Structure 1
Amino acid sequence: MSAHPQLAAAAPSVQEIGRAATLALYDELALSPKPGLVTLTDCGSHVDMDAHTFMRSLLALRGYFVRIAGLGAAGAQFEALERCGIAAEAHMLTATGGINTHRGAIFMIGLLCASAGALAAEDRRLTPQALRDTLVQRWGDALAARAKQPSTLPGGIAARRLGLRSASTEAAMGFPTLFETAVPALHMARARGLSMPCAQLDTLFAVMAVLDDSNLAHRGGLEGLRFAQRAARGFLAAGGAAAPQGQAVARAIADEFVRRRLSPGGAADTLAATCWLARLAG
């Protein structure tokens, strides 16, 4: 069972879908220790943002997640979702003074909210498989075409240069890291009796271990990405958050990430998406 209050298992409203997204962004922010990422008390590897910046951002995005869920419910084409996301990004940048806090989440969780809205409109139960199938069936072709276009964003440029799987490709494939790694990791951790924060921490490291995180690639090159993946695998192999020294090990890894200026933003977005799904579907 999830530690979060459960929303309707079948056909949540677009307001519930959007509210869960905002709360999930807070779930990710509140988790600590996180390697290189902003928490409520730490700026991680960032010098231009802190928890206040993130709070301004996620509050600015509240309406966006509801709107894009509504577009999904209305059967909108990908172009309409994209326009909605672009407007949300502009709103975020206004709220943060030009700092990119949630661009990846706008893309990833926005698409998931649209998919959830589409399921709700058909009065279908929101399950991970139904969500993934809906995303691929409705917008997979458009996302695949988008993935072929050269990116102008730092992470996308790094992914293309290094031959990594981009965020757009992940989306076109139905977010395999989310559904095949993150969601099972959270469920298994909770089934073992871990608290929600410990389960979320293990989930974050499980994602870091396998994801072609373009944020890491941009900041640290291929060497930085591979270091992060090795560190994540080592943390989990040693018992993860449930190990007697699990929290101390996580803090030591976080310190090393800061020293190397690494920040696994893609993994953070995937964790937030996992928290969103947990709030909606358990």
Structure 2
Amino acid sequence: MRNAKEAFSRYAADSAVHSLIEEVELTPKPGLVDRVNNGAHQDLTIELMLKSALSLKETFEQIAFISYGNSPSLSLREEIAAIGRNGENRMFETTGGVNTHKGAIWAIGLLVSGAAMGKGCYAIKEIVSLAGETARYPDRHCPNIATNGMLVSAKYGVNGARAEAEQGFPHIVQVSMPMLKRSRAYGLAENEAQLNSLLALIASLDDTCILHRGGPEALIFAKKQAASVLSSGSLEKLKILNDEFTRLNISPGGSADMLAATLFLDKIQGHITGDEVQKEVESIH
């Protein structure tokens, strides 16, 4: 009989990887890699993104395993960070040095940890709270290297991925998850519901990937256009927006990471409310 801790860790890792795959396969996305084109990216392909996602399964499984039944602490924060850095190295080995999922490792890794702390029984509100509390602990072993996101955050005075996590992922809780659920409630197909969730994120998030590539003007343009397409409900306009983002070298990579994290939380929420895997885990407690 399999151990409940191992069973949930595998389930959480599978859900995390599946969420990354869902995000990259979602089509059509503005400025991002999808099943039709590579958006504003010269160094990324869908095949590379899929290989990268699959390479991270062990990373997420290890994070879930060490977090299972624990509480936020300095030692746990540093253990998660070490596992995450190993995952980044594995990602770079898989992609030949291309950064495909560094932001997603950070965000989803913390959420995997929060979900595992509750042994798969916590609701989203509790998971993001625990993830935020964990993120606020310092990592004394973190290399003293400023990332593009950190530099952009400091230059323009906006919240980056770190602040988003430390605050308990407010854009997921207040923007992308409500939009995902509302779109489904309106009877939209899952692909459209996820696209609406992504557009809502682009329209509201100070995406440091956009700022890094195009500065404040690009961010203002991206937010305005995403809000316009969202209100129109037209996938044809979304295709036109992809052409515009590609032409202007706009890539909402931070929003894409938040969408993948949203999809992960959605899967974990489904697990809580009666998923078969939950029953399996409960049966071996």
**Which category of TM-score, normalised to the shorter sequence, fits these structures?**
0.7 to 0.9
On the 8 A contact 1:151/1:157 being kept in 2, the answer is no
| Letter aligned with residue 21 of structure 2 | Y
Instruction: State the secondary structure of the residue aligned to 1:71.
Output: helix
Which residue of structure 2 lines up, in the alignment, with residue 62 of structure 1?
57
Which residue of structure 1 lines up, in the alignment, with residue 241 of structure 2?
253
Instruction: State the secondary structure of the residue aligned to 1:142.
Output: coil
Q: How does 1:152-167 map to 2 (within 5 A)?
A: 152-167=146-161
On the 8 A contact 2:153/2:160 being kept in 1, the answer is yes
Q: How does 1:42-61 map to 2 (within 5 A)?
A: 42-61=37-56
Residue 74 and residue 131 in structure 1: after superposition, are their counterparts in 2 closer, same or farther (change >3 A)? closer
Whole-angstrom CA distance in 1 between matches of 2:100 and 2:211: 17
Instruction: State the secondary structure of the residue aligned to 2:35.
Output: coil
Structure 2: gaps (5+ residues): 1-5, 271-285
Whole-angstrom CA distance in 2 between matches of 1:262 and 1:271: 17
Which of 13, 18, 21 is residue 16 of structure 2 equivalent to? 21
Q: How does 1:144-183 map to 2 (within 5 A)?
A: 152-183=146-177
C-alpha deviation, 1:40, in angstroms? 2.3
On the 8 A contact 2:135/2:162 being kept in 1, the answer is no
C-alpha deviation, 1:140, in angstroms? 4.3
On the 8 A contact 2:218/2:250 being kept in 1, the answer is yes
The 4+ residue runs of structure 1 with deviation greater than 6 A are none
Which residue of structure 1 lines up, in the alignment, with residue 255 of structure 2?
267
Structure 1: gaps (5+ residues): 1-10, 241-245
C-alpha deviation, 1:281, in angstroms? 1.1
Which of 12, 32, 36 is residue 31 of structure 2 equivalent to? 36
C-alpha deviation, 1:74, in angstroms? 5.7
C-alpha deviation, 1:132, in angstroms? 1.6
Q: How does 1:46-195 map to 2 (within 5 A)?
A: 46-73=41-68, 75=70, 77-120=76-119, 125-137=121-133, 139-142=134-137, 152-195=146-189
C-alpha deviation, 1:141, in angstroms? 2.9
Quick one: percent identity of the two aligned structures? 34
TM-score calculated relative to the size of structure 1: 0.87
TM-score calculated relative to the size of structure 2: 0.86
C-alpha deviation, 1:212, in angstroms? 1.0
Whole-angstrom CA distance in 1 between matches of 2:9 and 2:205: 29
Aligned length: 259
Whole-angstrom CA distance in 2 between matches of 1:201 and 1:40: 14
